[in-house]
A and B are shown apart, each in its own frame.
Chain A
Amino acid sequence: MTIELNDVVQRLAGEAAGGEGVEAYAEQTTRTGINAFEGEVERLTSASSNGVGVRVVREGRLGYAYTADLSEDGLRRCLAEARANLEVSTEDPGNVLPDAAPFEPLDGLFDARQVDVSPERKVQLALDLEARTRAANPKVSKVETASYGDAVVQVAIASSKGVNGSLALTRAWCYSTALASEDGQSQVGFGIDSARSIEDLDIGPVAAEAAERAVRLLGATKPPTRTVPVVFDRMVAPNLIGVLLAGLSAEAVQKRRSLFADKLGERVGAAGLDLVDDGRLLDGPGATPFDDEGVPTRRNVLLAGGVLQRFLHNTASAAREGASSTGNAARGSFKSTPGISAHNVFFEPGDKDQAGLLAQAGEGLLVQDMSGVHSGANPITGDFSVGVTGLWFRNGELAEPVREATVAAQLLEILQGIVAVGSDLTWTTGSVGGSSLLIGQMTVAGA
């Protein structure tokens, strides 16, 4: 199939007329998803789909079209649409295709063991995960979802500038959502694991964590409003980093939508805080040898000692300011033009685990779940106000559970206020790695 995708993109790239640049990006995805519920397979999904997106540039203008119809006729129409769309776009120095650059292959993205896994084995894993979660604690009344999923993704890209790359990767993951009930109150807890193959998934800790996180919230009440140290759990920290990242894209800076604009070289975070995006880090799910327009990926240090070092670029944002791409072009799918995104971004871990951070802070709130991030956190204004669930801690020990509270602050204050990063860096399914984060002071609003 890779060969076929390669054919498609090469053929389209070869259609470029004089003065015109043509790039084609094709992907083929095969997926499985299994949900277990009460000892039965509730849902099994099996799928394969593909499509191609065509970008045409000419005299600083851009046209884009995509199609899931890879027939001769479908491809011809798609190219014609992209060319026609170009006519109404405004000139922009960013509308250029990247030059071809050699990339180092990245071994380990594709785990051949995953290809031969039987459907029965996948079903069994989901069923086992559900049973283990239920058995993990007598207060677990139900497992809302126990799920296994995997994907085999193939990508091919080619352009009239000589870019030509293809890759294949595998992913497998499982997660469980436990429901615990006591005295008429219900709480949920979540556990997840991900890897390149089902062979490396470990359901025991996923089940145990989902159960523990649900059970320990039982009896949660609304806390009084106070200003205290706050520890963000490793599962919620990625949400916070994700909001910050929006402002670290050079495009956001150019369009004056970044709270980091004009802050290059300034200290924006706590001293000692290092934020890194590494597209070649195999532990991270976003590892890839080249980005979504074929530019080689690399390790980019964004914050060093709290000082803002650089923004993330794709070819367009780099061309606008005479810089070079950092290899961070990203597309949601073949349906969109390349934007900018991190591959595997994380705070360099510290040396204390979560218990160590709680001990360091003494008394405060451990945030276990965060909600309303997409509405309550504004990466343009820096306002950050979200709903939280978690546990109070005293003398470094977890105490009573808390619900219906909010924490609010300015994003830059939070970044300045990170007193310590935990040693518990974990990768799951997104592009952001999670570690426990200790923030010196935040307002926790409740009753």
Chain B
Amino acid sequence: MLEDTIVRKILGAALSTGGEWAEVYAEDRLSHSIRLEDRRVEELITGQDRGAGVRVVRGTSSAYAYTNRLDSDSLLEAARVAAAALRDQPVAEVRDLRRRTSDLRHPVAIDPAEVQRTSLAELVRRADDAARSHDPSVAQVIASYSDGRQHVLIANSEGFLTEEDRVRTRFAVQVVAVRDGVVQTGFDGPGRSSGFELLDQFPPEEVARRAAIRAVAMLDSRPAPAGEMPVVIAAGNGGVLFHESSGHGMEADLVAKEASVYSGKQGQRIGVPEFNGVDDATVEGGWGSFQFDDEGTPAQRTVLFEDGVCTDYLTDLIRARQLSQRASGNGRRQSYANVPIPRMTNTYILAGEDDPDEIIRQTPKGLYAKSLGGGQVNPVTGEFVFGVVEGYLIEGGQVSTPVRGANLVGDGPSVIGSIDALGSDFDVKEGICGKEGQGVPVGNGAPTIRIARMTVGGTGGAA
């Protein structure tokens, strides 16, 4: 993408004013998206984006300049702009660049760029038909497909250089069901670091049907109760909860600023001995996977909780050096227009040994959260809130009435500490995680879990 000699020159210019290390990140991204709504293929968009950024780092301070012109003059100018933040004599030199490769593979069987436009249109139409034929109450279907091939070059003054192709494909369906004036929505949206073969694994009809089932089931719902109760969370969805409630608090930038409820918690027991959590960028084809992170650190599996004990934090290069911790390969960015910061990749609660059905049978009264929407956390206090998009009451150890408008509220460490059952099943949900205005693809996984007591917010009065 860029000649090694040019990269060296850029890094040299970046280090000319006293930076301890410098980095070049360049990317070229080709993306396609198609969207159907109201039975119409509304738009097919092809996009070509590219640009590069130069970063100069000293201690925990960094200066970053980016441009979307990839000629050597523009890049040298970016290096000078970033370097201008410092005014000292050079303290470091650019080492000889060595190209690195990874043994990790996230295979792409069918290059999305080779897929015919008419095939894309057919996909979203098939999803539309399947959702509408599921139930007469289905009133609206939004089906979308997107793919992207991101080619990145990452190099730093310590002699590292790599290029990586990252291909991601996602298919998503949202269904609106209406009956007797009641409106409910359902969503399903699998995604992988893979090619167009994603659609063989997740045929559009099945994705559409899952979204339709959720929307239609909730038509018979009544307002969720409010108050404290046991909550059982279906496989996959507990991963979303784990991501928000604890994962963010274990990102090292917040830990280093002591702005996380998990600061200083390393080595402490937070959860039951059966509780194990990891962040794993090496999962083959995972939505949040890669070969190298956006600073060139190899993808790895980081243990966040082992036997209930808080173990490692998620670091980027700056925070790893600051905290004298291992670089965990979690320096990620949305694009060349952003600096890398510590981010999650594929964040999983590992499966336990309890029979998922038995977990519900052993719960006399509570809430079954079959599908969670997005969530939000205040990492300082650990407090979070989650919308339950498909929820049911548990009565007498049985899943009973569907309930709507439920929210789960709590704080990370308390909730981890209150998990008293971990199922032997496991599932993954894909999403785009936002932090400091940057969105990156993340996978969240978990078995069926039970939280012994948790605050549920709803409009149906006290439980």
Contacts and interface: CB of A to CB of B under 8 A. Distances in A.
Interface of A: 37, 40-51, 62-69, 74, 77-78, 81-82, 84-85, 87-92, 119, 142, 144, 179, 185-188, 222, 225, 254-257, 259, 335-337, 369, 371-376, 378, 380-387, 389, 403-410, 443, 445-447
B66 interface: yes
Interface of B: 34, 37-51, 53, 60-68, 81-82, 84-85, 117-118, 120-121, 139-140, 176, 178, 183-185, 224, 226-228, 257-259, 261, 337, 339, 372-378, 380-381, 383-387, 389, 404-407, 409-411, 455-459, 461-462
A374 B407 contact: no
B407 A403 contact: no
Contact of A88 (B82, B117, B337, B462): B117
Contact of A385 (B65, B121, B459): B459
Contact of A380 (B82, B185, B381): B185
15 contacts: A45-B66, A46-B82, A63-B44, A74-B48, A77-B48, A78-B48, A82-B46, A225-B226, A225-B227, A372-B386, A376-B386, A385-B405, A387-B376, A403-B383, A409-B459
A45 B55 CA distance: 9
A408 B45 contact: no
Contact of B409 (A37, A74, A78, A405): A405
A378 B174 CA distance: 13
A44 B373 contact: no
B405 A144 contact: no
A64 B44 contact: yes
B118 to A, nearest CB: 6
Contact of B51 (A49, A188, A371, A443): A49
Given A404-B455, A445-B226, A49 B409 contact: no
A387 B185 contact: no
Contact of B383 (A43, A50, A67, A389): A389
Given A256-B139, A372-B385, A403-B383, A41 B46 contact: no
Contact of B61 (A42, A257, A259): A42
A337 B45 contact: yes
A161 to B, nearest CB: 20
Contacts of A66: 45-49
A43 B62 contact: yes
B41 A408 contact: no
B277 to A, nearest CB: 22
A49 B458 contact: no
B70 to A, nearest CB: 9
B407 A337 contact: no
B67 A376 contact: no
A335 B405 CA distance: 34
Contact of A188 (B67, B185, B380, B462): B380
A85 B378 contact: no
Contacts of A336: 45
A66 B63 CA distance: 29
Highest count of chain A CB atoms <10 Å: which of B139, B227, B459: B459
Nearest to B184: A381
Highest count of chain A CB atoms <10 Å: which of B65, B261, B339, B409: B409
B181 to A, nearest CB: 11
Contacts of A387: 376, 383-385, 407, 409, 457
Contacts of B67: 47-49
Given A85-B44, A90-B42, A408-B405, 15 more contacts: A45-B64, A45-B339, A46-B63, A47-B67, A63-B43, A64-B46, A85-B43, A90-B40, A371-B385, A372-B374, A376-B387, A385-B387, A387-B385, A405-B457, A409-B459
Contacts of A257: 140, 176
